[in-house]
Structure 1
């Protein structure tokens, strides 16, 4: 709970408050008769309003009708970047600010009584591997700390160490984030492991949140579009903000921007820890012993010792690197590598490199891979692991964002695929035929057989129809998601994994 005066003072401390507007009265101080007005609820959704709500007028093109709806339902104050002069201006106290997103983060942090102070907060960022690394870290810490580990990921949220709910954003909006952190702390959680996207910093979702440990896995051009990042520099800059907002920073030594990232961390007074393969000069290095197995050694006397042999059950040698990053996180809190090994071996990630097969010899992999770095690594692994069959890929690209990804997908298909079946992913308001044609234009290898079927379920059926024993089918980007974003709505969808599993049985008969 906050009072109106407390809310105003929080905004003033960060120089976000421009003025307070009550009807025709413009001022900088809350009137004496309103200072103790209680704000019992925070919301940015006009459908979720309770009495005495502080409403956030969030969004680039905020529609004032949402504010009016919120006032009718009980909102008594709002945070806005634009002064509202409509029919209800005398019924609401307006806190006019420079940046609603930053204001919302600071107010949510205080409203939920600073839950981050009761948790060890660990954030993973990177173009690929965030989700898998979060799952690795949660599993290995759970082995040591008896399920006192909460998780926020693009797949699922876990706030009590046991139960999971489907996630809607890679990193939640700040109001939801601090609410969930408070719930986790109240549930007795001691650790929170979360994905931190570039948009989390671009849109100030984690503004005012300091991480105990921040992990930078990798980076490649992605999310470049008019509605996300205007350039790669902006994408890298946003991701690098985790480096500045973490006490300890764990960085992939083989990242091409390692020096820049390490310099930023050291300039901020943060500890830098590096990791990488045996080919790097990292503090911690891994050596692949066989598929699914690797060993780790420490090469810096300034770091905590971490050695041992580990096994994971998620395909792809690139996941050895993700597992090492998680191990280094665990080592900051415990030296129980036996427990860490158990946790890693138990780790599975829904929709991540999930292999399916049947008695006929058909093989399929379901994965969320959707950008060049992820696809390149996944395709390369498939070609090396199954060299005698064709790689049949079912893939699309999201509409309305990350437009550069279409070129990247085409190039990855040209490099590795034998058959490309282009289909829908999440079209939003774009024509899937147009998206697929743009991908096709960048498949410059004439040996790749290209098909287009924008009905995703039928496209997967097409893959099964043309697959022979020894071929491997790769269903990219949707994993186990059972919806498709289409023209502002979530359309029910069976799910790549669920459909592939069903077809595996049918094609076994």
Structure 2
């Protein structure tokens, strides 16, 4: 259990919540009051904060949030609960005083920041949102800032977190719960970090995980329909609105000039007084000529070469990562780093050349005619971008493309059509399979996806077992190479680096798409 770094007490907590118009009253037994100072021990420092009743220790402040059941509090006084913060009183379950608030998640964010000594004030914070590219841009930006600061940049992402500039641990959420985020920032500051780069999901604003947090530099990469479901965002308008909130909570904004609804986003920035720096892919040959402060163009002399231009300065780079979208992400990261104070032509900018992100366009080959890519693409825009890139690089060879994909159960229902649509008319084969079906039938999800394959020339199969689906795709691609000599590309998308499938509410171990591809290719060679 972490110890306090700030003298947060019941009195100071109540005052902070009251200042933010969140405090309704304080309930202690049968007494209701607004005067925390009148309660015994109210000036004593709170030694620990948690939102998990199993972690309650003597003196702890407990945040009651989410799908909380009152019986979780049974016996809690015997473990020394000091106080709780909730939207309803639990005086029938505990003698501990309760701070009753309008919104417990907002309260948790504000109080966690204070408990951990406002670590955000000691960091240059970079927050990145968008439908596609958050993780890769996060990795690129962290690499630049870590190089510039000689290892003093921290990072939170949907894949992994790095709090000391060198050690990586797996993540649970794209944006952590506020209490965890501030604890991690505290660890980063204590480890000597000067920067923190983090992904900011729409859900982070929807459920107030970043409430009260101001980013020194915010990024809005792009927007397209995603996460639309009864348990996420009911409409695209709600999804976009939640993402837009980063603009008013950033001191400066980096914006994709080609982003849909860019005029609205610029209007948000003007209303908030937030300066805007734009970036764009600028390739006249492909019709991309949007004016922007920083432009990225493809260097035709190198398959992964780009030129990034800011004013009269141009930096030429060769990335380790394939993909036009990754080229743009690298330029975005350079723009973000520049907004934090890194000179545009500083050698640290070249750190993007050696970044590789697990599960992002990982390539496996068998000879020159069979290539397998593993990617996290999981919606229309990301699937389309992956196929676009394959055709950009290999189009002259007229490749036969196989897409192996599934979609999640119980949420983001629109992805089922979007994933198919992203490859439709260009993929020769769709093999539809399992990907986090949760409480839904994975076969039913796959068959629903199959119903959206309207190309009469495309082959479609439902193979529920994901490992067998990948093996089937590779076997069929190998057979086509042998029969026709045509280049075959298999795109295994959706899970990226993930090593679990969510089935019936439980995380079931999955070896990982990349490991399955390696094993299948090796088995077929032997």
Could you tell me the TM-score, scaled by structure 2's length? 0.92
1:305-384 residue pairs with structure 2 within 5 A? 306-332=313-339, 333-335=341-343, 337-359=345-367, 361-384=369-392
Deviation (angstroms), 1:341:
4.5
1:252-291 residue pairs with structure 2 within 5 A? 252-278=256-282, 279-290=289-300, 291=303
Q: What SS does the corresponding residue of 2:158 show, helix, strand or coil? A: coil
Deviation (angstroms), 1:256:
2.0
Does the CA-based 8 Å contact 1:311-1:341 persist in structure 2? no
Mapped partners of 1:360, 1:326: distance in 2: 33
Structure 1, unaligned stretches of length 5 or more?
A: 300-304
Q: Identify the match of residue 485 of structure 1 among 502, 505, 510.
A: 502
Aligned partner of 1:412 in structure 2 is: 422
Aligned partner of 1:117 in structure 2 is: 121
1:103-502 residue pairs with structure 2 within 5 A? 103-278=107-282, 279-290=289-300, 291-299=303-311, 306-332=313-339, 333-335=341-343, 337-359=345-367, 361-387=369-395, 388-468=398-478, 469=481, 470-502=487-519
Structure 2 residue 45 is matched with structure 1 residue 28: no
Deviation (angstroms), 1:66:
2.2
470-479 or 109-118, larger mean C-alpha shift: 470-479
Q: What SS does the corresponding residue of 2:222 show, helix, strand or coil? A: coil
The alpha-carbon distance between structure 1 residues 472 and 69, as it changes in their structure 2 partners (threshold 3 A), is farther
Q: CA offsets, 1:386-431, max 9 Å, x none?
A: 3433211111111111111112123223233211111111112111
320-329 or 43-52, larger mean C-alpha shift: 43-52
Q: What SS does the corresponding residue of 1:386 show, helix, strand or coil? A: helix
Does the CA-based 8 Å contact 2:28-2:91 persist in structure 1? no
Q: CA offsets, 1:83-123, max 9 Å, x none?
A: 2253x33x221111111110110010100010000000001
Mapped partners of 2:492, 2:76: distance in 1: 43
Mapped partners of 1:132, 1:48: distance in 2: 34
Mapped partners of 1:337, 1:502: distance in 2: 43
The alpha-carbon distance between structure 1 residues 254 and 22, as it changes in their structure 2 partners (threshold 3 A), is same
The alpha-carbon distance between structure 1 residues 452 and 267, as it changes in their structure 2 partners (threshold 3 A), is same
Deviation (angstroms), 1:508:
2.5
Mapped partners of 1:398, 1:41: distance in 2: 37
Q: Identify the match of residue 57 of structure 2 among 35, 50, 59.
A: 50
Deviation (angstroms), 1:506:
2.1
17-26 or 383-392, larger mean C-alpha shift: 383-392
Q: What SS does the corresponding residue of 2:516 show, helix, strand or coil? A: helix
Mapped partners of 2:60, 2:376: distance in 1: 38
Mapped partners of 1:207, 1:70: distance in 2: 28
In the TM superposition, structure 1's runs of 4+ consecutive aligned residues that sit over 6 Å from their partners are none
Deviation (angstroms), 1:62:
2.1
Mapped partners of 2:342, 2:392: distance in 1: 36
Does the CA-based 8 Å contact 2:25-2:33 persist in structure 1? yes
Does the CA-based 8 Å contact 1:115-1:181 persist in structure 2? yes
Does the CA-based 8 Å contact 2:224-2:260 persist in structure 1? no
Mapped partners of 1:85, 1:79: distance in 2: 12
Deviation (angstroms), 1:14:
0.7
Q: CA offsets, 1:272-309, max 9 Å, x none?
A: 1111122011111122113311112234xxxxx65211
Q: What SS does the corresponding residue of 1:472 show, helix, strand or coil? A: strand
Mapped partners of 1:486, 1:39: distance in 2: 39
Q: What SS does the corresponding residue of 1:193 show, helix, strand or coil? A: strand
Deviation (angstroms), 1:455:
1.4
Q: What SS does the corresponding residue of 1:75 show, helix, strand or coil? A: coil
Q: What SS does the corresponding residue of 1:33 show, helix, strand or coil? A: coil
The alpha-carbon distance between structure 1 residues 306 and 16, as it changes in their structure 2 partners (threshold 3 A), is farther
The alpha-carbon distance between structure 1 residues 246 and 341, as it changes in their structure 2 partners (threshold 3 A), is closer
Q: What SS does the corresponding residue of 1:442 show, helix, strand or coil? A: coil
Q: What SS does the corresponding residue of 1:507 show, helix, strand or coil? A: helix
Structure 2, unaligned stretches of length 5 or more?
A: 283-288, 482-486
Aligned partner of 1:4 in structure 2 is: 10
Q: Identify the match of residue 41 of structure 1 among 44, 48, 51.
A: 48
Mapped partners of 1:92, 1:426: distance in 2: 40
Does the CA-based 8 Å contact 2:87-2:100 persist in structure 1? yes
Q: What SS does the corresponding residue of 1:34 show, helix, strand or coil? A: coil
Mapped partners of 2:464, 2:456: distance in 1: 22
Q: What SS does the corresponding residue of 2:423 show, helix, strand or coil? A: helix
Does the CA-based 8 Å contact 1:358-1:505 persist in structure 2? no
Could you tell me the TM-score, scaled by structure 1's length? 0.95
Q: What SS does the corresponding residue of 2:143 show, helix, strand or coil? A: helix
Mapped partners of 1:437, 1:142: distance in 2: 46
Q: What SS does the corresponding residue of 2:144 show, helix, strand or coil? A: helix
Mapped partners of 2:205, 2:40: distance in 1: 37
